[in-house]
Structure 1
Protein backbone atom coordinates (compact mmCIF):
# COMPACT_ATOMS: atom_id res chain seq x y z
CA UNK A 1 0.00 0.00 0.00
CA UNK A 2 2.83 2.37 0.80
CA UNK A 3 4.28 1.88 -2.71
CA UNK A 4 0.92 2.61 -4.30
CA UNK A 5 0.46 5.69 -2.13
CA UNK A 6 3.91 7.02 -3.01
CA UNK A 7 3.25 6.42 -6.70
CA UNK A 8 -0.06 8.27 -6.53
CA UNK A 9 1.58 11.13 -4.63
CA UNK A 10 4.32 11.34 -7.29
CA UNK A 11 1.73 11.34 -10.07
CA UNK A 12 -0.30 14.07 -8.38
CA UNK A 13 2.77 16.21 -7.79
CA UNK A 14 3.75 15.94 -11.45
CA UNK A 15 7.19 16.35 -12.94
CA UNK A 16 8.74 18.97 -15.16
CA UNK A 17 10.24 18.40 -18.58
CA UNK A 18 13.74 18.62 -17.13
CA UNK A 19 12.98 16.11 -14.38
CA UNK A 20 11.59 13.64 -16.91
CA UNK A 21 14.60 14.23 -19.14
CA UNK A 22 16.99 13.56 -16.25
CA UNK A 23 15.21 10.27 -15.47
CA UNK A 24 15.43 9.16 -19.11
CA UNK A 25 19.07 10.26 -19.34
CA UNK A 26 20.04 8.16 -16.31
CA UNK A 27 18.61 5.07 -18.02
CA UNK A 28 21.01 5.55 -20.95
CA UNK A 29 24.24 3.90 -19.80
CA UNK A 30 26.36 5.29 -22.61
CA UNK A 31 25.13 8.83 -21.91
CA UNK A 32 25.87 8.43 -18.19
CA UNK A 33 29.31 7.09 -19.08
CA UNK A 34 29.91 10.14 -21.26
CA UNK A 35 28.72 12.47 -18.52
CA UNK A 36 31.00 10.87 -15.92
CA UNK A 37 34.01 10.94 -18.25
CA UNK A 38 33.46 14.61 -19.16
CA UNK A 39 32.98 15.60 -15.52
CA UNK A 40 36.22 13.77 -14.64
CA UNK A 41 38.14 15.43 -17.48
CA UNK A 42 36.90 18.89 -16.48
CA UNK A 43 37.95 18.31 -12.86
CA UNK A 44 41.36 17.06 -13.99
CA UNK A 45 41.78 20.10 -16.24
CA UNK A 46 40.94 22.46 -13.39
CA UNK A 47 43.30 20.69 -10.99
CA UNK A 48 46.15 20.09 -13.45
CA UNK A 49 48.61 22.60 -11.88
CA UNK A 50 48.28 20.76 -8.56
CA UNK A 51 48.15 17.13 -9.73
CA UNK A 52 50.58 17.14 -12.67
CA UNK A 53 53.69 15.16 -11.63
CA UNK A 54 56.09 17.57 -13.37
CA UNK A 55 56.18 21.15 -14.67
CA UNK A 56 54.73 21.37 -18.18
CA UNK A 57 57.98 22.86 -19.57
CA UNK A 58 60.39 20.64 -17.62
CA UNK A 59 62.83 18.91 -19.98
CA UNK A 60 65.49 16.24 -19.55
CA UNK A 61 67.41 16.00 -22.81
CA UNK A 62 69.69 13.32 -21.37
CA UNK A 63 66.64 11.13 -20.67
CA UNK A 64 65.06 11.61 -24.10
CA UNK A 65 62.10 9.49 -25.21
CA UNK A 66 61.49 6.58 -22.85
CA UNK A 67 58.55 4.15 -22.68
CA UNK A 68 56.14 4.09 -19.72
CA UNK A 69 57.83 3.40 -16.41
CA UNK A 70 57.30 3.85 -12.68
CA UNK A 71 58.79 7.35 -12.83
CA UNK A 72 56.87 8.35 -15.96
CA UNK A 73 53.58 6.44 -16.20
CA UNK A 74 52.97 7.38 -19.85
CA UNK A 75 56.62 7.68 -20.85
CA UNK A 76 58.49 10.78 -22.01
CA UNK A 77 58.86 12.53 -25.37
CA UNK A 78 62.04 13.23 -27.34
CA UNK A 79 62.78 16.23 -25.12
CA UNK A 80 62.45 14.17 -21.94
CA UNK A 81 59.12 15.77 -20.99
CA UNK A 82 56.67 13.67 -18.99
CA UNK A 83 53.80 12.62 -21.27
CA UNK A 84 51.21 12.46 -18.48
CA UNK A 85 51.96 16.08 -17.64
CA UNK A 86 51.81 17.04 -21.31
CA UNK A 87 48.45 15.30 -21.78
CA UNK A 88 46.98 16.95 -18.68
CA UNK A 89 48.06 20.43 -19.77
CA UNK A 90 47.10 19.69 -23.36
CA UNK A 91 43.66 18.66 -22.18
CA UNK A 92 43.18 22.06 -20.56
CA UNK A 93 43.80 23.81 -23.88
CA UNK A 94 41.76 21.37 -25.98
CA UNK A 95 38.78 21.50 -23.63
CA UNK A 96 39.03 25.28 -23.36
CA UNK A 97 39.02 25.60 -27.15
CA UNK A 98 36.05 23.26 -27.35
CA UNK A 99 33.94 25.02 -24.74
CA UNK A 100 34.89 28.65 -25.44
CA UNK A 101 34.68 28.40 -29.23
CA UNK A 102 31.34 26.60 -28.91
CA UNK A 103 30.10 29.37 -26.60
CA UNK A 104 31.06 31.95 -29.24
CA UNK A 105 29.26 29.92 -31.90
CA UNK A 106 26.15 29.60 -29.72
CA UNK A 107 26.07 33.30 -28.91
CA UNK A 108 26.16 34.25 -32.58
CA UNK A 109 23.95 31.43 -33.84
CA UNK A 110 21.23 31.70 -31.21
CA UNK A 111 21.01 35.48 -31.59
CA UNK A 112 20.98 35.37 -35.39
CA UNK A 113 18.48 32.51 -35.64
CA UNK A 114 16.14 33.95 -33.00
CA UNK A 115 15.99 37.35 -34.71
CA UNK A 116 15.46 35.81 -38.16
CA UNK A 117 12.78 33.41 -36.96
CA UNK A 118 10.88 36.02 -34.97
CA UNK A 119 11.07 38.80 -37.57
CA UNK A 120 10.07 36.64 -40.52
CA UNK A 121 9.36 38.06 -43.95
CA UNK A 122 12.10 39.92 -45.81
CA UNK A 123 14.33 40.20 -42.73
CA UNK A 124 14.30 36.43 -42.33
CA UNK A 125 14.93 35.90 -46.05
CA UNK A 126 17.92 38.25 -46.14
CA UNK A 127 19.48 36.89 -42.94
CA UNK A 128 19.12 33.24 -43.94
CA UNK A 129 20.37 33.84 -47.49
CA UNK A 130 23.50 35.31 -45.92
CA UNK A 131 23.83 32.10 -43.90
CA UNK A 132 23.52 30.09 -47.13
CA UNK A 133 26.26 32.18 -48.74
CA UNK A 134 28.56 31.70 -45.76
CA UNK A 135 27.93 27.96 -45.88
CA UNK A 136 29.39 27.92 -49.39
CA UNK A 137 32.67 29.53 -48.32
CA UNK A 138 35.74 27.33 -47.62
CA UNK A 139 35.99 28.01 -43.90
CA UNK A 140 39.21 26.09 -43.42
CA UNK A 141 40.93 28.54 -45.77
CA UNK A 142 39.28 31.41 -43.87
CA UNK A 143 40.69 30.17 -40.55
CA UNK A 144 44.14 29.58 -42.04
CA UNK A 145 44.19 33.13 -43.42
CA UNK A 146 43.18 34.53 -40.03
CA UNK A 147 45.95 32.63 -38.29
CA UNK A 148 48.53 33.72 -40.87
CA UNK A 149 47.53 37.40 -41.00
CA UNK A 150 46.85 38.07 -37.31
CA UNK A 151 49.28 35.63 -35.75
CA UNK A 152 48.85 32.39 -33.89
CA UNK A 153 47.39 32.88 -30.43
CA UNK A 154 44.83 31.04 -28.36
CA UNK A 155 42.30 33.88 -28.20
CA UNK A 156 42.22 34.28 -31.97
CA UNK A 157 41.84 30.52 -32.31
CA UNK A 158 38.78 30.62 -30.02
CA UNK A 159 37.18 33.43 -32.03
CA UNK A 160 38.09 32.04 -35.46
CA UNK A 161 36.66 28.59 -34.80
CA UNK A 162 33.57 29.99 -33.07
CA UNK A 163 32.97 32.38 -35.96
CA UNK A 164 32.65 29.50 -38.43
CA UNK A 165 30.61 27.05 -36.33
CA UNK A 166 27.50 29.17 -35.70
CA UNK A 167 25.68 28.63 -38.99
CA UNK A 168 23.97 25.34 -38.12
CA UNK A 169 22.91 26.72 -34.74
CA UNK A 170 21.34 29.69 -36.49
CA UNK A 171 19.24 27.39 -38.65
CA UNK A 172 18.18 25.25 -35.70
CA UNK A 173 17.24 28.28 -33.61
CA UNK A 174 15.29 29.86 -36.48
CA UNK A 175 13.19 26.72 -36.87
CA UNK A 176 12.51 26.53 -33.13
CA UNK A 177 11.50 30.19 -32.92
CA UNK A 178 9.20 29.90 -35.93
CA UNK A 179 7.33 27.04 -34.26
CA UNK A 180 7.18 28.81 -30.89
CA UNK A 181 6.14 32.16 -32.34
CA UNK A 182 2.57 30.91 -32.89
CA UNK A 183 2.15 29.70 -29.29
CA UNK A 184 -0.32 31.38 -26.95
CA UNK A 185 2.27 32.57 -24.44
CA UNK A 186 4.13 34.48 -27.18
CA UNK A 187 0.91 36.05 -28.44
CA UNK A 188 0.07 37.04 -24.86
CA UNK A 189 3.47 38.66 -24.45
CA UNK A 190 2.96 40.61 -27.67
CA UNK A 191 -0.52 41.69 -26.64
CA UNK A 192 0.69 43.27 -23.39
CA UNK A 193 3.32 45.24 -25.30
CA UNK A 194 6.56 43.55 -24.26
CA UNK A 195 9.58 44.62 -26.34
CA UNK A 196 10.83 42.24 -29.00
CA UNK A 197 14.15 41.76 -27.22
CA UNK A 198 12.35 40.77 -24.03
CA UNK A 199 10.12 38.28 -25.83
CA UNK A 200 13.13 36.67 -27.48
CA UNK A 201 15.26 36.64 -24.33
CA UNK A 202 12.65 35.59 -21.77
CA UNK A 203 10.18 33.50 -23.75
CA UNK A 204 11.61 32.12 -26.98
CA UNK A 205 15.21 31.25 -26.13
CA UNK A 206 14.40 29.51 -22.79
CA UNK A 207 11.79 27.33 -24.52
CA UNK A 208 14.34 26.27 -27.13
CA UNK A 209 17.00 25.21 -24.62
CA UNK A 210 16.54 21.51 -25.36
CA UNK A 211 17.85 21.62 -28.95
CA UNK A 212 20.46 24.21 -27.94
CA UNK A 213 21.88 21.93 -25.23
CA UNK A 214 21.92 18.92 -27.55
CA UNK A 215 23.63 20.85 -30.32
CA UNK A 216 26.18 22.20 -27.84
CA UNK A 217 27.29 18.71 -26.82
CA UNK A 218 27.63 17.76 -30.49
CA UNK A 219 29.47 20.94 -31.48
CA UNK A 220 32.20 20.69 -28.82
CA UNK A 221 33.73 17.53 -30.36
CA UNK A 222 33.58 19.12 -33.82
CA UNK A 223 35.45 22.15 -32.51
CA UNK A 224 38.03 19.99 -30.74
CA UNK A 225 38.62 18.01 -33.92
CA UNK A 226 39.05 21.24 -35.87
CA UNK A 227 41.58 22.52 -33.32
CA UNK A 228 43.43 19.19 -33.46
CA UNK A 229 43.53 19.38 -37.26
CA UNK A 230 44.85 22.96 -37.19
CA UNK A 231 47.48 22.03 -34.60
CA UNK A 232 48.41 19.00 -36.71
CA UNK A 233 49.04 21.41 -39.61
CA UNK A 234 51.08 23.69 -37.35
CA UNK A 235 48.46 26.47 -37.40
CA UNK A 236 46.91 25.93 -33.98
CA UNK A 237 48.43 25.95 -30.50
CA UNK A 238 52.13 26.78 -30.49
CA UNK A 239 54.88 25.75 -28.01
CA UNK A 240 55.51 26.11 -25.14
CA UNK A 241 51.73 25.66 -24.86
CA UNK A 242 50.40 22.31 -25.93
CA UNK A 243 47.16 20.60 -26.86
CA UNK A 244 46.11 17.09 -27.74
CA UNK A 245 46.21 18.00 -31.42
CA UNK A 246 49.77 19.27 -31.14
CA UNK A 247 50.83 16.17 -29.19
CA UNK A 248 49.24 13.95 -31.84
CA UNK A 249 51.13 15.90 -34.50
CA UNK A 250 54.43 15.28 -32.73
CA UNK A 251 53.52 11.66 -32.12
CA UNK A 252 52.68 11.05 -35.76
CA UNK A 253 56.19 12.15 -36.76
CA UNK A 254 57.85 9.57 -34.50
CA UNK A 255 55.17 6.86 -34.27
CA UNK A 256 57.43 4.12 -35.67
CA UNK A 257 60.16 4.66 -33.08
CA UNK A 258 58.09 5.92 -30.13
CA UNK A 259 54.47 4.72 -30.59
CA UNK A 260 53.39 5.81 -27.09
CA UNK A 261 53.81 9.46 -28.12
CA UNK A 262 50.85 8.98 -30.49
CA UNK A 263 48.83 6.33 -28.65
CA UNK A 264 48.24 8.16 -25.35
CA UNK A 265 47.23 11.64 -26.60
CA UNK A 266 45.22 10.00 -29.37
CA UNK A 267 43.41 7.85 -26.80
CA UNK A 268 42.66 10.91 -24.65
CA UNK A 269 41.15 12.79 -27.59
CA UNK A 270 39.23 9.73 -28.79
CA UNK A 271 37.78 9.06 -25.34
CA UNK A 272 36.66 12.69 -25.04
CA UNK A 273 35.04 12.74 -28.48
CA UNK A 274 33.21 9.46 -27.89
CA UNK A 275 32.00 10.65 -24.47
CA UNK A 276 30.67 13.92 -25.87
CA UNK A 277 28.88 12.13 -28.68
CA UNK A 278 27.37 9.57 -26.28
CA UNK A 279 26.21 12.40 -24.04
CA UNK A 280 24.82 14.37 -26.98
CA UNK A 281 22.88 11.38 -28.28
CA UNK A 282 21.56 10.68 -24.79
CA UNK A 283 20.43 14.26 -24.30
CA UNK A 284 18.74 14.26 -27.70
CA UNK A 285 16.72 11.17 -26.74
CA UNK A 286 16.02 12.40 -23.20
CA UNK A 287 14.72 15.78 -24.34
CA UNK A 288 12.62 14.32 -27.16
CA UNK A 289 9.16 14.31 -25.60
CA UNK A 290 7.55 12.66 -28.61
CA UNK A 291 10.05 9.81 -28.49
CA UNK A 292 9.47 9.38 -24.76
CA UNK A 293 5.77 8.79 -25.33
CA UNK A 294 6.38 5.93 -27.77
Structure 2
Protein backbone atom coordinates (compact mmCIF):
# COMPACT_ATOMS: atom_id res chain seq x y z
CA UNK A 1 0.00 0.00 0.00
CA UNK A 2 2.83 2.41 0.91
CA UNK A 3 4.59 1.68 -2.39
CA UNK A 4 1.43 2.47 -4.32
CA UNK A 5 1.10 5.78 -2.48
CA UNK A 6 4.75 6.63 -3.23
CA UNK A 7 4.25 5.86 -6.93
CA UNK A 8 1.09 7.97 -6.96
CA UNK A 9 2.85 10.93 -5.34
CA UNK A 10 5.74 10.66 -7.77
CA UNK A 11 3.35 10.58 -10.71
CA UNK A 12 1.46 13.54 -9.28
CA UNK A 13 4.62 15.62 -8.86
CA UNK A 14 6.01 14.66 -12.27
CA UNK A 15 9.67 14.42 -13.20
CA UNK A 16 12.01 16.34 -15.44
CA UNK A 17 13.74 15.13 -18.60
CA UNK A 18 17.02 14.75 -16.68
CA UNK A 19 15.43 12.71 -13.89
CA UNK A 20 13.84 10.34 -16.39
CA UNK A 21 17.12 10.09 -18.29
CA UNK A 22 19.06 9.22 -15.14
CA UNK A 23 16.59 6.46 -14.23
CA UNK A 24 16.89 4.95 -17.71
CA UNK A 25 20.67 5.29 -17.74
CA UNK A 26 20.95 3.37 -14.46
CA UNK A 27 19.42 0.32 -16.17
CA UNK A 28 22.16 0.27 -18.84
CA UNK A 29 25.09 -1.60 -17.29
CA UNK A 30 27.54 -0.99 -20.13
CA UNK A 31 26.82 2.75 -20.05
CA UNK A 32 27.39 2.84 -16.30
CA UNK A 33 30.67 0.94 -16.73
CA UNK A 34 31.74 3.46 -19.36
CA UNK A 35 30.81 6.33 -17.04
CA UNK A 36 32.80 4.82 -14.18
CA UNK A 37 35.86 4.30 -16.40
CA UNK A 38 35.75 7.93 -17.55
CA UNK A 39 35.31 9.20 -14.00
CA UNK A 40 38.29 7.11 -12.84
CA UNK A 41 40.43 8.37 -15.71
CA UNK A 42 39.52 11.99 -14.94
CA UNK A 43 40.36 11.48 -11.25
CA UNK A 44 43.62 9.78 -12.20
CA UNK A 45 44.49 12.66 -14.53
CA UNK A 46 43.87 15.20 -11.77
CA UNK A 47 45.99 13.25 -9.27
CA UNK A 48 48.80 12.34 -11.68
CA UNK A 49 51.39 14.77 -10.21
CA UNK A 50 51.04 12.99 -6.86
CA UNK A 51 50.61 9.42 -8.14
CA UNK A 52 53.19 9.23 -10.94
CA UNK A 53 56.22 7.16 -9.84
CA UNK A 54 58.71 9.35 -11.75
CA UNK A 55 58.91 12.82 -13.27
CA UNK A 56 57.74 12.95 -16.87
CA UNK A 57 61.09 14.56 -17.88
CA UNK A 58 63.23 12.14 -15.84
CA UNK A 59 65.59 10.18 -18.11
CA UNK A 60 67.93 7.25 -17.72
CA UNK A 61 69.95 7.17 -20.93
CA UNK A 62 72.00 4.22 -19.68
CA UNK A 63 68.83 2.16 -19.30
CA UNK A 64 67.33 3.10 -22.67
CA UNK A 65 64.27 1.26 -23.90
CA UNK A 66 63.73 -1.46 -21.31
CA UNK A 67 60.80 -3.92 -21.20
CA UNK A 68 58.36 -3.95 -18.24
CA UNK A 69 59.97 -4.75 -14.92
CA UNK A 70 59.37 -4.32 -11.20
CA UNK A 71 60.94 -0.85 -11.28
CA UNK A 72 59.18 0.25 -14.46
CA UNK A 73 55.85 -1.57 -14.69
CA UNK A 74 55.20 -0.57 -18.32
CA UNK A 75 58.83 -0.35 -19.39
CA UNK A 76 60.75 2.70 -20.57
CA UNK A 77 61.14 4.52 -23.89
CA UNK A 78 64.35 4.99 -25.87
CA UNK A 79 65.40 7.86 -23.59
CA UNK A 80 64.88 5.79 -20.46
CA UNK A 81 61.69 7.60 -19.40
CA UNK A 82 59.12 5.62 -17.45
CA UNK A 83 56.19 4.71 -19.73
CA UNK A 84 53.63 4.52 -16.92
CA UNK A 85 54.47 8.10 -15.97
CA UNK A 86 54.37 9.22 -19.61
CA UNK A 87 50.98 7.60 -20.16
CA UNK A 88 49.55 9.15 -16.99
CA UNK A 89 50.72 12.64 -17.95
CA UNK A 90 49.67 12.02 -21.55
CA UNK A 91 46.16 11.23 -20.33
CA UNK A 92 45.90 14.70 -18.81
CA UNK A 93 46.63 16.34 -22.16
CA UNK A 94 44.54 13.97 -24.28
CA UNK A 95 41.47 14.25 -22.06
CA UNK A 96 41.80 18.05 -21.94
CA UNK A 97 42.10 18.27 -25.72
CA UNK A 98 39.22 15.85 -26.25
CA UNK A 99 36.74 17.38 -23.82
CA UNK A 100 37.56 21.10 -24.15
CA UNK A 101 37.81 21.13 -27.94
CA UNK A 102 34.61 19.08 -28.20
CA UNK A 103 32.86 21.46 -25.79
CA UNK A 104 33.82 24.38 -28.03
CA UNK A 105 32.51 22.53 -31.08
CA UNK A 106 29.27 21.66 -29.27
CA UNK A 107 28.65 25.21 -28.10
CA UNK A 108 29.07 26.66 -31.59
CA UNK A 109 27.51 23.83 -33.59
CA UNK A 110 24.39 23.22 -31.48
CA UNK A 111 23.43 26.90 -31.22
CA UNK A 112 24.22 27.59 -34.88
CA UNK A 113 22.34 24.56 -36.19
CA UNK A 114 19.33 25.13 -33.93
CA UNK A 115 18.97 28.77 -34.99
CA UNK A 116 19.37 27.93 -38.69
CA UNK A 117 16.88 25.07 -38.59
CA UNK A 118 14.23 26.91 -36.57
CA UNK A 119 14.39 30.22 -38.43
CA UNK A 120 14.30 28.58 -41.85
CA UNK A 121 13.91 30.50 -45.10
CA UNK A 122 16.60 32.99 -46.11
CA UNK A 123 18.23 32.92 -42.69
CA UNK A 124 18.70 29.16 -42.91
CA UNK A 125 19.95 29.36 -46.50
CA UNK A 126 22.50 32.07 -45.65
CA UNK A 127 23.77 30.32 -42.52
CA UNK A 128 24.14 26.94 -44.20
CA UNK A 129 25.88 28.42 -47.26
CA UNK A 130 28.47 29.77 -44.84
CA UNK A 131 28.89 26.25 -43.47
CA UNK A 132 29.32 24.92 -47.01
CA UNK A 133 32.03 27.51 -47.70
CA UNK A 134 33.88 26.60 -44.51
CA UNK A 135 33.60 22.91 -45.41
CA UNK A 136 35.34 23.65 -48.71
CA UNK A 137 38.32 25.16 -46.92
CA UNK A 138 41.17 22.82 -45.93
CA UNK A 139 40.62 22.96 -42.17
CA UNK A 140 44.01 21.41 -41.43
CA UNK A 141 45.72 24.31 -43.16
CA UNK A 142 43.49 26.67 -41.18
CA UNK A 143 44.64 25.12 -37.89
CA UNK A 144 48.28 25.17 -38.97
CA UNK A 145 48.02 28.86 -39.89
CA UNK A 146 46.53 29.66 -36.49
CA UNK A 147 49.31 27.80 -34.73
CA UNK A 148 51.99 29.51 -36.83
CA UNK A 149 50.55 33.03 -36.46
CA UNK A 150 49.62 32.94 -32.77
CA UNK A 151 52.25 30.52 -31.51
CA UNK A 152 52.17 26.97 -30.18
CA UNK A 153 49.91 27.55 -27.20
CA UNK A 154 48.01 24.57 -25.79
CA UNK A 155 44.90 26.69 -25.12
CA UNK A 156 44.96 27.91 -28.71
CA UNK A 157 45.19 24.26 -29.78
CA UNK A 158 41.91 23.53 -27.95
CA UNK A 159 40.16 26.51 -29.50
CA UNK A 160 41.52 25.92 -33.00
CA UNK A 161 40.41 22.28 -33.11
CA UNK A 162 37.00 23.10 -31.65
CA UNK A 163 36.53 25.94 -34.12
CA UNK A 164 36.72 23.56 -37.09
CA UNK A 165 34.88 20.56 -35.60
CA UNK A 166 31.51 22.32 -35.19
CA UNK A 167 30.46 22.20 -38.84
CA UNK A 168 29.15 18.63 -38.86
CA UNK A 169 27.45 19.21 -35.51
CA UNK A 170 25.63 22.23 -36.94
CA UNK A 171 24.34 20.15 -39.86
CA UNK A 172 23.18 17.32 -37.59
CA UNK A 173 21.32 19.69 -35.27
CA UNK A 174 19.77 21.59 -38.17
CA UNK A 175 18.42 18.36 -39.67
CA UNK A 176 16.84 17.41 -36.34
CA UNK A 177 15.33 20.87 -35.87
CA UNK A 178 13.75 20.85 -39.33
CA UNK A 179 11.73 17.81 -38.28
CA UNK A 180 11.02 19.07 -34.76
CA UNK A 181 9.69 22.52 -35.60
CA UNK A 182 6.56 21.00 -37.16
CA UNK A 183 5.66 19.08 -34.01
CA UNK A 184 2.49 19.92 -32.07
CA UNK A 185 4.27 21.01 -28.90
CA UNK A 186 6.27 23.60 -30.87
CA UNK A 187 3.05 24.98 -32.38
CA UNK A 188 1.53 25.02 -28.90
CA UNK A 189 4.52 26.96 -27.56
CA UNK A 190 4.14 29.50 -30.36
CA UNK A 191 0.39 29.82 -29.73
CA UNK A 192 0.92 30.77 -26.07
CA UNK A 193 3.31 33.54 -27.04
CA UNK A 194 6.77 32.08 -26.38
CA UNK A 195 9.55 33.81 -28.31
CA UNK A 196 11.89 32.06 -30.77
CA UNK A 197 14.89 32.04 -28.39
CA UNK A 198 12.80 30.61 -25.56
CA UNK A 199 11.46 27.86 -27.81
CA UNK A 200 14.95 27.03 -29.08
CA UNK A 201 16.37 26.88 -25.55
CA UNK A 202 13.51 25.03 -23.83
CA UNK A 203 12.11 22.76 -26.54
CA UNK A 204 14.35 22.53 -29.61
CA UNK A 205 17.83 21.96 -28.13
CA UNK A 206 16.72 19.43 -25.41
CA UNK A 207 15.03 17.30 -28.08
CA UNK A 208 18.21 17.11 -30.16
CA UNK A 209 20.36 15.77 -27.30
CA UNK A 210 20.23 12.15 -28.49
CA UNK A 211 22.03 12.68 -31.84
CA UNK A 212 24.25 15.33 -30.26
CA UNK A 213 25.48 12.89 -27.59
CA UNK A 214 26.15 10.18 -30.16
CA UNK A 215 28.15 12.52 -32.37
CA UNK A 216 30.01 13.83 -29.33
CA UNK A 217 31.31 10.33 -28.58
CA UNK A 218 32.72 10.27 -32.12
CA UNK A 219 34.12 13.80 -31.95
CA UNK A 220 36.22 13.27 -28.81
CA UNK A 221 38.37 10.45 -30.26
CA UNK A 222 38.67 12.22 -33.62
CA UNK A 223 39.89 15.32 -31.80
CA UNK A 224 42.47 13.21 -29.96
CA UNK A 225 43.71 11.80 -33.26
CA UNK A 226 43.82 15.27 -34.81
CA UNK A 227 45.92 16.46 -31.89
CA UNK A 228 48.26 13.50 -32.46
CA UNK A 229 48.67 14.43 -36.12
CA UNK A 230 49.44 18.05 -35.25
CA UNK A 231 51.94 16.90 -32.62
CA UNK A 232 53.58 14.66 -35.23
CA UNK A 233 53.99 17.73 -37.48
CA UNK A 234 55.53 19.64 -34.59
CA UNK A 235 52.54 21.98 -34.18
CA UNK A 236 50.78 20.35 -31.26
CA UNK A 237 52.04 19.03 -27.94
CA UNK A 238 55.77 19.61 -27.70
CA UNK A 239 58.30 17.31 -25.99
CA UNK A 240 58.98 16.63 -23.20
CA UNK A 241 55.19 16.83 -22.73
CA UNK A 242 53.21 13.88 -24.03
CA UNK A 243 49.75 12.78 -25.05
CA UNK A 244 48.32 9.37 -25.88
CA UNK A 245 48.28 10.21 -29.57
CA UNK A 246 51.89 11.38 -29.52
CA UNK A 247 52.98 8.25 -27.63
CA UNK A 248 51.15 6.04 -30.14
CA UNK A 249 52.76 7.87 -33.08
CA UNK A 250 56.17 7.33 -31.50
CA UNK A 251 55.34 3.71 -30.71
CA UNK A 252 54.43 2.99 -34.35
CA UNK A 253 57.93 4.02 -35.42
CA UNK A 254 59.57 1.60 -32.96
CA UNK A 255 56.96 -1.17 -32.72
CA UNK A 256 59.18 -3.87 -34.25
CA UNK A 257 61.98 -3.39 -31.72
CA UNK A 258 60.03 -2.13 -28.69
CA UNK A 259 56.38 -3.23 -29.00
CA UNK A 260 55.44 -2.11 -25.47
CA UNK A 261 55.88 1.52 -26.57
CA UNK A 262 52.82 1.05 -28.81
CA UNK A 263 50.79 -1.55 -26.91
CA UNK A 264 50.28 0.28 -23.62
CA UNK A 265 49.30 3.77 -24.86
CA UNK A 266 47.19 2.14 -27.59
CA UNK A 267 45.43 -0.01 -25.01
CA UNK A 268 44.80 3.03 -22.82
CA UNK A 269 43.31 5.01 -25.71
CA UNK A 270 41.20 2.01 -26.79
CA UNK A 271 39.72 1.60 -23.31
CA UNK A 272 38.80 5.29 -23.32
CA UNK A 273 37.14 5.03 -26.73
CA UNK A 274 35.12 1.97 -25.68
CA UNK A 275 33.99 3.78 -22.54
CA UNK A 276 32.92 6.81 -24.57
CA UNK A 277 31.00 4.65 -27.04
CA UNK A 278 29.18 2.69 -24.33
CA UNK A 279 28.31 5.86 -22.45
CA UNK A 280 27.23 7.60 -25.65
CA UNK A 281 24.87 4.77 -26.61
CA UNK A 282 23.39 4.76 -23.12
CA UNK A 283 22.91 8.52 -23.06
CA UNK A 284 21.33 8.45 -26.52
CA UNK A 285 18.66 6.03 -25.29
CA UNK A 286 18.23 7.76 -21.93
CA UNK A 287 17.85 11.25 -23.41
CA UNK A 288 15.45 10.20 -26.14
CA UNK A 289 12.32 12.31 -25.43
CA UNK A 290 10.16 9.76 -27.22
CA UNK A 291 11.07 7.04 -24.74
CA UNK A 292 8.28 6.07 -22.42
CA UNK A 293 8.59 7.04 -18.80
CA UNK A 294 9.40 4.21 -16.47
One fold, TM greater than 0.5? yes
Q: How does 1:184-199 map to 2 (within 5 A)?
A: 184=187, 186-187=189-190, 191=193
In the alignment, the residues of structure 2 paired with residue 210 and residue 58 of structure 1 have an alpha-carbon distance, to the nearest angstrom, of 45
1:20 paired residue number: 20
Residues 199 and 4 (structure 1), Cα distance of their counterparts in 2 relative to 1, 3 Å cut: closer
Contact 2:209–2:287 (Cα < 8 Å) also in 1: no
Residues 291 and 209 (structure 1), Cα distance of their counterparts in 2 relative to 1, 3 Å cut: closer
1:118 paired residue number: 118
**Does 2:127 align with 1:127?**
yes
TM-score, normalised with respect to structure 2:
0.86
**Does 2:285 align with 1:285?**
yes
In the alignment, the residues of structure 2 paired with residue 203 and residue 24 of structure 1 have an alpha-carbon distance, to the nearest angstrom, of 20
Residues 285 and 200 (structure 1), Cα distance of their counterparts in 2 relative to 1, 3 Å cut: closer
1:251 paired residue number: 251
Per the TM alignment, residue 22 of structure 1 is displaced from its structure 2 partner at its CA by: 1.6
Q: Provide Cα deviations, 1:182-225, integer angstroms capped at 9, x if missing partner.
A: 51464157x37x5x556545664455445444433332122112
In the alignment, the residues of structure 2 paired with residue 57 and residue 222 of structure 1 have an alpha-carbon distance, to the nearest angstrom, of 28
Per the TM alignment, residue 156 of structure 1 is displaced from its structure 2 partner at its CA by: 2.7
Contact 2:209–2:288 (Cα < 8 Å) also in 1: no
Contact 1:221–1:277 (Cα < 8 Å) also in 2: no
Contact 1:63–1:80 (Cα < 8 Å) also in 2: yes
Q: Provide Cα deviations, 1:91-112, integer angstroms capped at 9, x if missing partner.
A: 1110110111111112221232
Structure 1 residue runs without a partner (length 5+)? none
1:156 paired residue number: 156
In the alignment, the residues of structure 2 paired with residue 215 and residue 256 of structure 1 have an alpha-carbon distance, to the nearest angstrom, of 35
In the alignment, the residues of structure 1 paired with residue 278 and residue 203 of structure 2 have an alpha-carbon distance, to the nearest angstrom, of 30
TM-score, normalised with respect to structure 1:
0.86
Structure 2 residue runs without a partner (length 5+)? none
1:73 paired residue number: 73
2:88 paired residue number: 88
Q: How does 1:219-234 map to 2 (within 5 A)?
A: 219-234=219-234
In the alignment, the residues of structure 2 paired with residue 204 and residue 289 of structure 1 have an alpha-carbon distance, to the nearest angstrom, of 11
Residues 77 and 222 (structure 1), Cα distance of their counterparts in 2 relative to 1, 3 Å cut: same
Per the TM alignment, residue 74 of structure 1 is displaced from its structure 2 partner at its CA by: 1.1
Q: How many residue pairs align between the two structures?
A: 290
Per the TM alignment, residue 115 of structure 1 is displaced from its structure 2 partner at its CA by: 2.6
In the alignment, the residues of structure 2 paired with residue 34 and residue 46 of structure 1 have an alpha-carbon distance, to the nearest angstrom, of 19
Per the TM alignment, residue 162 of structure 1 is displaced from its structure 2 partner at its CA by: 0.8
Per the TM alignment, residue 18 of structure 1 is displaced from its structure 2 partner at its CA by: 2.0
Q: Provide Cα deviations, 1:126-179, integer angstroms capped at 9, x if missing partner.
A: 111221232233333433444455543322321221111101221233244445
Q: What is the root-mean-square deviation of aligned Cα atoms in Å?
A: 2.6
SS in 2 for 1:75: coil
In the alignment, the residues of structure 2 paired with residue 178 and residue 167 of structure 1 have an alpha-carbon distance, to the nearest angstrom, of 17
Q: How does 1:141-152 map to 2 (within 5 A)?
A: 141-148=141-148, 150-152=150-152
